[in-house]
Amino acid sequence: MLLCLLSVVLPGCTTKHYRKSADHEAAKVIAEKTPAVPNMDTKFTIEQEKLPPLDDLPVNNKAEESLGAEAQVEVGAHVLSLEKALDLAVKHSRDYQNRKELLYLEALNLTLQRYRFTPIFSAGASGRVNRNTVTVTLTNGIDKLVEQKSANGEVNAGVDVLLRTGGRIATDFTIDFFRFIKGDPKFMTSSRLLTTFSQPLLQGGGYKVAIENLTQAERNLLYALRNFAQFRKEFSVDVASRYYGVLQARDTVRNNWLGYQNFKQNVARIQAFVDEEKKPQAELGRLKQAELQTELGWVNAVRGYKRGLDEFKILLGLSTDAKVVLDDAELEKLKIVHPDIKLDDALRVALATRLDLYTVKDRYADAERKIKIASNGLLPKLDLLASIEVDSKAGNAPFDMDWKRYQWNAGLDLDLPLDRKAERNAYRAALISYERAGRELELAIDRVKQDVYEGWRSLDQARRNYEISEVGVNLSERRVEEQELLTELGRGTAKDLVDARTDLINARNDRTQALVGHVIARLQFWRDLGILTIRDNGQWEEVTDAKGF
């Protein structure tokens, strides 16, 4: 009664206890299985940290002229390095938190399945007030209606144990109370101790059948851990890709701005030639048109950069109002590092380390196991049943059991398999699921190979793109120098100068894109091989010896 009262008066304490208990059990089973999953977060917790202030970050004090009217907005903004961005993302990203919660819920399900095979205690009480009217014959022979009021109650406690053979043992102890409120004040009590046992012998019996739900829950948590570990790789690569993408957009703004300024200078120069009638008006018009197109490209580039930065803030879990800029030095540190591994070795490593492939293989084994479980449902239902009951002795002594007058019974309960339509369908469905799981395994192996082939081709293409873009930038710079010199001498044409300037802008943008593309392709390649190691802060470890896996 006191516990019931406390649960009503202090609900906050009770709910806090339940939450803490659930978190403790879930954390325990996750920690128990974490060593079985390579590169799983060893400090996993569902609790999301409060977003810290960014005051410890460097501050941008320079206005970027290429941003135009947006330049002053970034003055005083905090400079976010890639490492800090990854750290913020794993702690505050909404997507990352959602995936952690999915893993946590799978762990909760396992705690419930394990709990079913532990002794489950129960207790309860009930009370009633009764009123009825009875006919009483008095000594003078006259019948009289007499009102009777009584109170009765019951208190019970029990324990229920589900055995790993499919059997169940349940024990219940009940005390009954009875007393007349009006009339005979006699107080009467009695009690009963009852133990029952049931054990399926055919359908539903056996260790594997009995613990199937527990077995699947154990494996489901393992799959969830693998999925989360794989997600961590994908998430870090995605954050890096978005980070470099924003820097690339900023570099595009800068290149387009420089091109726009150069066009303005060239327009002024040609304007002077036109004024002196050394150049036709048509050439000036061509340059002005090119200047407008370049200005439009610059304006669009600024807009694209700001949009990408806002989207990146959302990815990290920051407010779009947060004043942050990304560190240009991260782009300057990038270099082409091509993986030193042969294609055959890459295929071997991927097939041996990909966590998602392990899960598909295990699900194939699950499907095979479920065929045996489903076939058990086709058997007759034959249960062994037994019970023993002891009542208390006469008198108000509820704890004084009359062991000499116990009652017991035992027997079998048979249900012939005359109606097995549902079980038949379940068995056939299990066979189909097994065949489907086999096809999914074949597909998963092919997908892994396809990922490696595609990653290999993407890496090779990205490296070649960078080499070509480097040559393109050098050629374009020489062309611009040549055309500007010819223009100063009055021998160049507006068309050639426009083409050279436009090609230089495009070549510089292509070079940045190719460099970023190769870095991301390399990270994706290591991810697809299953050997990209992610630290607890989201930062990856660069792979130096892929053959050693």
Give 7-49 as a DSSP string: HHH-HHHHHHHHHHHHHHHHHHHHHHHGGGSTT--TT--SPPP
Q: Which of 71, 89, 159, 97 is nearest to 123 (CA)?
A: 159
386 half-sphere exposure, CB direction, 13 A CA radius: 8
- Give CA torsion, residues 110, 116, 121, 124, to 10 deg: 90
Q: What is the pLDDT of residue 549?
A: 57
Q: Which of 368, 429, 99 is nearest to 215 (CA)?
A: 368
Q: How far apart are CA 38 and CA 354, in angstroms?
A: 10
Q: In this structure, what token pair is assigned to residue 358?
A: 């392990």
Q: Which amino acid is at 186?
A: K
- Give CA torsion, residues 101, 103, 104, 109, to 10 deg: 130
Q: Would you say the C-alpha torsion 498, 504, 510, 516 has a positive or negative sign?
A: negative
Degrees to nearest 5, angle at CA 161 with 155 and 166: 140
Q: How far apart are CA 1 and CA 3, in angstroms?
A: 5
Q: What is the pLDDT of residue 95?
A: 95
Residue 537 CA, distance from chain mean position: 16
Q: What is the CATH number of domain 26-116+214-370+428-548?
A: 1.20.1600.10
Q: How far apart are CA 366 and CA 60, in angstroms?
A: 56
Q: How far apart are CA 497 and CA 263, in angstroms?
A: 9
Q: Indicate the domain borders of the chain.
A: 26-116+214-370+428-548, 123-162+167-203+381-415
pLDDT in tens, the chain (549 residues): 444 444 544 455 688 999 999 999 999 999 999 999 999 998 899 998 888 888 888 998 888 888 888 888 888 899 999 999 999 999 999 999 999 999 999 999 999 999 999 999 999 988 888 777 767 676 776 776 766 777 788 899 999 999 999 999 999 999 888 666 665 666 678 889 999 999 999 999 999 999 999 999 999 999 999 999 999 999 999 999 999 999 999 988 988 888 888 778 777 776 777 777 667 787 778 878 878 888 898 999 999 999 999 999 999 999 999 999 999 999 888 888 888 889 999 999 999 999 999 999 999 999 999 999 999 999 999 999 999 999 888 777 777 777 888 899 999 999 998 899 999 999 999 999 999 999 999 999 999 999 999 999 999 999 999 999 989 989 988 988 888 788 777 777 667 777 787 788 888 888 888 999 999 999 999 999 999 999 988 998 877 666 655
Q: What is the pLDDT of residue 4?
A: 47
